[in-house]
């Protein structure tokens, strides 16, 4: 087997040094009968040729996004990732390193983490960021639980614009802790509705901008109202490229900003692995979940970086930890940092503007179609569209014509009462021809 270096004679020699004759003697503590006598019922070893052939075949029974006119977002976005990003993250020293617990031989990972935290804080206009979380949805769940710890209150109110998967993920985690989750009815453009639910028992309102329908909102008033009621404002997002163009939640009073970083540096990958961004105010640092890198000096006085504030974490605090998380999304976070370095302020602003312009073109093209109504008025790169009849059926019919036209709201939330709403997104990857194909196909499908 190509991954196993021991030879039969090695094994024999080693057993001799150990002082036993059979490797099964080393499994002496396994209860009688539980040690399998034979191999399990699965295929035998295969070479690279066979494994690659099998998986290639499986991959070919999918329709990759790039082979279609593609307008799907809703939490995962198709952007260009520069070739150098994927090359760099596959360098052995990044790919096959462990969590930087020995900082003297892990400064590469640690400095990249520090740069990531700095970039995230700048992008979101927040004071501090952690080293990343699993993804946007779990970051949002962590934010809700952190707000409950900070305020010592138990109710979390979600706007009707937060991505339904984020609400469901947070609900699962929060309810396990005995917190109450109030999810307001789905609403295309009404983040401010959370203000009606403020009260002395509310730990946080969770809003999203751009929200799942693409709508962007000035969150300032919501933040003021939340703070007035002793609650935190948690601002979620799914499209981090937007902050190259729109006002970030950090500048509008958010206490915790959390969301998905996949758009920068990371492929669609059918939903994961992604990279959760999580930023907060310095005063809440001790309640922040997740690992974090910090600056220090070494024995010679040279600047270096270490994992720090680890007394919040499970390996030290055990059942009193701020979270059970024991990882960050390392390689995805590194890809994010490399891509963001390549973009810089100039590239990010340009990328964001390109996305916005494509979405305007898409919105105008669809608005001109009889039967389709664009519901989102202020947006970044994503819009909600009302279609005649079942949006799910329309999405399926479009797929048959080589157009991935978005996602039906009913797929995200079966009980939203929005079966005729579909959510579509445009990015820098879309061409004018893609938009023409979409309009043409939708016209036929509606008719």
Partner 1 sequence: MITETTSGNRGLQQAEPLIFETGHATGTGVDLPAPKGAKDRLGGLKRKAALDLPGLSEPETMRHFVRLSQKNYAIDLGLFPLGSCTMKHNPRLNERVARLEGFADLHPLQPTSTIQGALELMDDLAHWLCTLTGMPAVALSPKAGAHGEFAGMLAIKAALEARGEGEKRKRVLVPSSAHGTNPATAAAAGFTVDEIPGRADGRVHLDDVKAKLGSDVAAIMITNPNTCGLFEPEIRNIADAIHAAGAYLYCDGANFNAIVGKVRPGDLGVDAMHINLHKTFSTPHGGGGPGAGPTVLSEALAPFAPVPHIVKRADGSRVLVEHAEDDGEAFGRMCAFHGQMGMFTRALAYMMSHGSDGLRQVAEDAVLNANYLRARLKPHFSAPFGDRPCMHEVLLDDESIRPKGVETIDLAKALLDEGYHPFTTYFPLVVHGAMLIEPTETEPKRELDRFADVMIALAERVNAGDVQFFKQSPQLTPMRRLDDTRAARQPKLRWRRAGDDAARKAAE
Partner 2 sequence: MTTRYTKDHEWVRLEGDVATVGITPYAAEQLGDVVYVELPAAGASFTQGADMAVVESAKAASDVYAPISGEIVSANEALSGAPDLVNQSADGEGWFVKLKAANTGELDALMDEAAYADYVKGL
Q: What residues numbered 311-350 form the site for partner 2, per CB under 8 A? A: 311, 316-317
Please identify, using beta-carbon distances, which residue of 44 and 152 lies nearer to partner 2: 152
Residue in 205, 189, 187 with CA at minimum distance from that of residue 197: 205
Q: Which residue has the tokens 């799910």?
A: 392
Which residues, 6+ apart, have CB-to-CB distance to 210 below 8 Å? 216, 237, 238, 239, 242, 246, 379, 380, 381, 382
Tokens standing for residue 300: 């010679």
To partner 1, the closest distance from the beta carbon of 179 in angstroms equals: 10
76 binds, among partner 2, partner 1, none (CB under 5 to 8 A by kind): partner 1
β partners of residue 306: 294
Specify which residues 276 forms β-bridges with: 133, 260
Nearest distance, CB of residue 258 and partner 1, angstroms = 12
Indicate the residue among 304 and 388 with the shorter CB distance to partner 1: 304
What x-and-dash track marks residues 331-370 binding partner 1 by CB under 8 A?
xxxx---x-xxxxxxxxxxxx-xx-xx-xx--x-------
Tell me how long the chain is.
447
Q: Using the rule CB under 8 A, which residue among 111, 151, 220, 310 binds partner 2? A: 310
Q: What are the φ/ψ torsions at residue 117 (nearest 5 degrees)?
A: -60, -40
Residues contacting residue 66 through CB under 8 Å, at least 6 positions apart:
78, 429
Residue 37 vs 200, nearer CB to partner 1 = 37
Site string for partner 1, 12-41 (x = CB under 8 A): -xxx-xxxx--x-xxxxxxx-xxxx--xxx
Here's the x/- map for partner 1, 194-233, by CB under 8 A: it reads as: ----------------------xxx---------------
Residue with Cβ nearer partner 1 (104 or 201): 104
84 binds partner 2 (CB under 8 A): no
Tell whether residue 171 is a contact of partner 1 (CB under 8 A).
yes
Q: Which is nearer to partner 2, 303 or 444 (CB)?
A: 303
Q: Which partner, partner 1, partner 2, none, binds residue 191 by CB below 5 to 8 Å per kind?
A: none
Using the structure block, give the residue that is written with the tokens 């593609």. Answer: 70
CA separation (Å) from 301 to 210, 294, 298, 305, 417?
Answer: 45, 15, 5, 12, 62
Residue of the chain from 239, 420, 428, 434 that contacts partner 1 (CB under 8 A): 428
What is the total count of residues that contact partner 1 (CB under 8 A)?
A: 211
Which two structure tokens, joined as six digits, stand for 346?
A: 């100039």
As a whole number of angstroms, the distance between CA 407 and CA 390 comes to: 11
Is 433 an interacting residue with respect to partner 1 (CB under 8 A)?
no
CB 151 to partner 1: min, Å: 18
Contacts to partner 1 from residues 48-67, by CB under 8 A: 48, 50-52, 54-66
Which one of partner 1, partner 2, none is in contact with 8 (Cβ closer than 5 to 8 A by kind)? Answer: none
Query: Cβ(428)–Cβ(354) under 8 Å?
Result: yes
According to CB under 8 A, which one of 80, 286, 378, 393 is a site residue for partner 2?
286
Which of 150-158, 193-201, 322-330, 435-443 is the region at the interface with partner 1 (rule: CB under 8 A)?
Answer: 322-330
Site string for partner 2, 290-309 (x = CB under 8 A): ------------------x-
CA 369 – CA 327 distance, rounded (Å): 48
Cβ proximity to partner 1, 199 vs 389, nearer residue: 389
C-alpha–C-alpha distance, residues 71 and 384, integer Å? 12
Kindly report the backbone phi and psi dihedral angles of residue 280, in degrees, each rounded to the nearest multiple of 5, phi listed first: -150, -170
Partner touching 327 among partner 2, partner 1, none, CB below 5 to 8 Å by kind: partner 1
Binder among 187, 192, 309, 369 for partner 1 (CB under 8 A): 309
CA proximity to 265, closest of 292, 241, 245, 247: 241
Site string for partner 1, 147-166 (x = CB under 8 A): ----------------x-xx
Token couple for 324:
């059970």
Residue listed under structure tokens 């021991």: 6
Handedness of CA 219, 221, 224, 230 (dihedral sign): negative
Strands 403-404 and 69-70: what pairing?
Answer: parallel
Counting residues that bind partner 2 (by CB under 8 A) gives 6
Footprint of partner 2 on this chain (CB under 8 A)?
A: 286, 308, 310-311, 316-317
């Amino acid at each position: 087997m190509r991954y196993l270096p021991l030879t039969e004679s090695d094994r024999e020699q080693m057993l001799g040094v150990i002082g036993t004759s059979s490797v099964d003697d080393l499994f002496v503590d396994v209860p009688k009968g539980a040690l399998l006598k034979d191999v399990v019922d699965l295929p035998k070893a295969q070479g690279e040729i066979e494994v690659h052939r099998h998986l290639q075949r499986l991959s070919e029974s999918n329709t990759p996004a790039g082979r279609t006119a593609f307008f799907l977002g809703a939490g995962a976005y198709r952007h260009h990732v520069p070739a150098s990003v994927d090359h760099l993250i596959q360098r052995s020293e990044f790919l096959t390193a462990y969590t930087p617990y020995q900082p003297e031989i892990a400064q590469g990972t640690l400095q990249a983490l520090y740069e990531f935290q700095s970039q995230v804080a700048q992008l979101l206009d927040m004071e501090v960021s952690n080293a990343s979380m699993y993804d946007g949805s779990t970051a949002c769940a962590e934010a809700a639980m952190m707000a409950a710890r900070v305020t010592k209150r138990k109710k979390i109110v979600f706007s009707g614009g937060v991505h339904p998967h984020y609400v469901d993920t947070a609900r699962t985690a929060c309810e396990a802790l005995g917190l109450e989750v109030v999810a307001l009815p789905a609403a295309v453009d009404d983040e401010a509705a959370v203000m009606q639910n403020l009260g002395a028992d509310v730990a946080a309102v969770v809003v999203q901008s751009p929200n799942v329908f693409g709508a962007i909102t000035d969150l300032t008033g919501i933040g003021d109202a939340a703070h007035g009621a002793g609650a935190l404002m948690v601002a979620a997002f799914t499209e981090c490229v937007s902050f190259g163009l729109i006002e970030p939640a950090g500048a509008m009073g958010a206490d915790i900003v959390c969301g998905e970083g996949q758009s920068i540096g990371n492929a669609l990958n059918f939903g994961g692995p992604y990279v959760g961004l999580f930023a907060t105010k310095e005063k809440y640092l001790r309640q922040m979940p997740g690992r974090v890198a910090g600056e220090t000096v070494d024995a010679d006085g040279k600047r270096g970086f270490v994992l720090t504030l680890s007394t919040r974490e499970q390996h030290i605090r055990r059942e009193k930890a701020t979270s059970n998380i024991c990882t960050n999304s390392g390689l995805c976070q590194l890809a994010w940092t490399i891509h963001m370095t390549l973009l810089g302020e100039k590239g990010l602003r340009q990328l964001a503007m390109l996305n916005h312009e494509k979405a305007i073109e898409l919105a105008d093209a669809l608005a001109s179609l009889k039967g389709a109504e664009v519901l989102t008025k202020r947006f970044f790169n994503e819009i909600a569209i009302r279609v005649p009849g079942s949006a799910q059926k329309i999405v399926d019919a479009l797929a048959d014509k080589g157009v991935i036209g978005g996602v039906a709201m009913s797929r995200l939330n079966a009980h939203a009462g929005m079966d005729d709403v579909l959510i579509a997104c445009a990015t820098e990857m879309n061409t004018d021809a893609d938009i023409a194909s979409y309009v043409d196909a939708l016209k036929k499908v509606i008719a």
